[in-house]
Structure 1
Amino acid sequence: MLKFPEFALTCGLALLIAAPVEAAGDPEKGAVVFKKCAACHQVGDGAKNRIGPHLNELIGRTAGGLDGFKYSKAMQDAGAGGMVWDTETLDAYLESPRTAVKGTRMAFPGLKDADDRADAIAYLAEYSKQASAPAETKTAAAPAESPAPSTTVETAPGTAANQPIPTHGVLHLGRMATPDEVAAWDIDVRPDGVGLPAGKGTVSQGEVLFTERCASCHGDFGEGAGRWPVLAGGRDTLKNDRPEKTIGSYWPYLSTVYDYVRRAMPYGDARSLNDNEVYAITAYMLYLNDVVTDEAFELSRANFSDVRLPNEANFTDDTRKQEAHYAVPAEPCMRDCKADVTITSRARVLNVTPDGGNDDAATKVD
């Protein structure tokens, strides 16, 4: 497995444009669209490779051809096959990366709106010398003669203007959620397994999915790419100055892993995994953290609650309600609560005060 994801684009924009091109989008709007890509790509003065390659001088560039960046084999093969970035190839790639380059590790699902793609291409074209004249904007020509504006407002049946004024609640806003809407949000999973859907997945299946959908950010082995979170390792580091809080070293319950992956991952494409795929990825993360050691291990609702993470015993129930100041219901004291105030420690002693170069002055702050 490669440890350096190709990758041109967890954020969705990547490699780009080609030979003399005249972009038909709006560069200013494209700058806004590009924010979806900025976590992985840089463009402009001082741009550097990050999780994806920098996007300067991309018109006419061969796919997978930027020196100094480690691309996936799929992207290198695309370039070897003659793929060059121009408005056509870029538009197709941005619409559906995994369709345009099969095997790419791009986790971003794509820009489905054609105008967004055109705007993004126009924005990126401004950072390539091969781009031709300034980009045209998508402005339709005005008709030769415009009819005088009508002063009559027509309302279609069923629109808000025809609806009865609501009277429920204090502000008369909203409506009751439907059962289907509630079910779509009610997907949390408890540590005892309540809330788990039916399904199953093996470590081996999870490895394939993790490589395709997760490794561009988290590394092939959960080691983290760039500054993205580390998911594996970190055992016996919790007492260190900089502990590595991973699934194997810190997390208490497997249900948290399943719930988070199901609800929020992959980044930029949340809720795209089906239940079997979430089980498989969760099983693979157990394998990466040596919680299970058999590649044939299958995780399912039936055995889910049997799995225990190493740090579970170090989490305890919240007992704050049992403390003395909660015993008698009363308003909390907010001022003049003690007659005398004693300083028990100083920030400087705790090494959290920035060094100002004047220790005498630093001791006089109180």
Structure 2
Amino acid sequence: MRSFFAALALALALPAGAFADSDGELLGDAERGADVFRKCTGCHKVGPDAPNRAGPHLNEIFGRKAGSIEGFKYSKSMQRAFGDGLVWDAETLDAYIENPRALISGTRMSFRGLKDPQDRHDVLAYLRQFTASPQNIPEAAPTANAHEVVLSPEILAIVGDAEYGEYLAAECLTCHKRSGSDDGIPSIVNWYEEDFVVAMHAYKRKVRPHPVMQMMASRLSDEEIAALAAYFAKIEQDG
């Protein structure tokens, strides 16, 4: 009973939009964390009915065992973390988003990390809103980001030929690594197909400012872009 009143007193003392962990340590400002989290939304979604994309959805992330979402294709390193019993909590998440490969070497996550502790704490406070336990924080509306380009339903409905995509991918793989590592160049392995298609059309229309990618995309037809998307969505990684 005393712990209940202590938790209640702590909650009343926190600034609006801020949350604390089970030991009472302030995590951060959830409202600001929503803005910082925009750096993550290319791969991760959160909120009601959030889908898996290049990375798994982050609903109920606190208390979740690493690598445990059924049906998601995790890297071998994350599968090992699952076997080792790694559980996501404030401490492990903080370490992971600071430097993903320092905590899990070989992870497919190409994000370089948030070096500012306040940015990390704010993101964690934001994500805590989407975990019902341990403090029953209510679910909040998801963060919606508009696509860079709006594509017609006909383009999005094209079913890509993955085998043809493998043939076309030789040029892509001279820079992007089949292993999923970034080495200064973002990984495109296991991207969600629609995200891949939108990104390539954004380069093709010169909305994304990268001259080499603009040139490469300009050579591709809608069907070829769909084929590459199908291939990279299902590519088997080396190593």
* TM-score between the two structures when normalised by the length of structure 2: 0.54
- CA displacement 1:253-282 (0-9 Å, x = unmatched): xxxxxxxxxxxxxxxxxxxxxxxxxxxxxx
1:218 aligns with 2:188: yes
1:75 aligns with 2:78: yes
SS in 2 for 1:59: coil
Q: How does 1:157-168 map to 2 (within 5 A)?
A: none
1:244 aligns with 2:224: yes
Residue 228 of structure 1: aligned partner: 196
Residue 59 of structure 1: aligned partner: 62
Q: 2:99 aligns with which of 96, 102, 108?
A: 96
SS in 2 for 1:40: coil
Query: CA shift at 1:211, angstroms?
Result: 2.7
Paired letter, 2:75: S
Instruction: State how far apart, in whole Å, the 2-side matches of 1:245 and 1:45 are.
Output: 30
Residue 108 of structure 2: aligned partner: 105
Paired letter, 1:60: G
1:114 aligns with 2:114: no
**1:46–1:25 Cα change, 3 Å:** same
- Higher relative helix content: 2
Instruction: State how far apart, in whole Å, the 1-side matches of 2:83 and 2:37 are.
Output: 28
Instruction: State how far apart, in whole Å, the 1-side matches of 2:177 and 2:43 are.
Output: 22
**1:205–1:83 Cα change, 3 Å:** farther
Q: How does 1:161-180 map to 2 (within 5 A)?
A: none
**1:44–1:206 Cα change, 3 Å:** closer
- Say whether the 8 Å CA contact 1:72–1:104 is kept in structure 2: yes
> For the aligned residues, what is the CA RMSD?
3.7
Query: CA shift at 1:245, angstroms?
Result: 5.6
Paired letter, 1:244: E
- Say whether the 8 Å CA contact 2:176–2:187 is kept in structure 1: no
Paired letter, 1:59: F
Unaligned runs of 5+ in 2: 1-20, 138-172, 201-212, 229-239
- CA displacement 1:162-199 (0-9 Å, x = unmatched): xxxxxxxxxxxxxxxxxxxxxxxxxxxxxxxxxxxxxx
SS in 2 for 1:24: strand
Query: CA shift at 1:39, angstroms?
Result: 1.6
Query: CA shift at 1:43, angstroms?
Result: 1.0
- CA displacement 1:336-366 (0-9 Å, x = unmatched): xxxxxxxxxxxxxxxxxxxxxxxxxxxxxxx
**1:64–1:245 Cα change, 3 Å:** closer
Q: Relative contact order (C-alpha < 8 Å, sep 6+): which is higher?
A: 2
- Say whether the 8 Å CA contact 2:114–2:120 is kept in structure 1: yes
SS in 1 for 2:121: helix
Residue 232 of structure 2: aligned partner: none
Q: How does 1:187-202 map to 2 (within 5 A)?
A: none
SS in 2 for 1:244: helix
Identity score, percent? 42
Unaligned runs of 5+ in 1: 1-18, 135-203, 249-366
Instruction: State how far apart, in whole Å, the 2-side matches of 1:21 and 1:112 are.
Output: 23
- Say whether the 8 Å CA contact 1:217–1:228 is kept in structure 2: no
* TM-score between the two structures when normalised by the length of structure 1: 0.36
SS in 2 for 1:28: helix
**1:225–1:56 Cα change, 3 Å:** closer
Query: CA shift at 1:53, angstroms?
Result: 0.8
SS in 2 for 1:25: strand
- Say whether the 8 Å CA contact 1:74–1:101 is kept in structure 2: yes
**1:20–1:59 Cα change, 3 Å:** farther
SS in 1 for 2:181: helix
- Say whether the 8 Å CA contact 1:21–1:87 is kept in structure 2: no
Instruction: State how far apart, in whole Å, the 2-side matches of 1:209 and 1:97 are.
Output: 19
Query: CA shift at 1:31, angstroms?
Result: 0.8
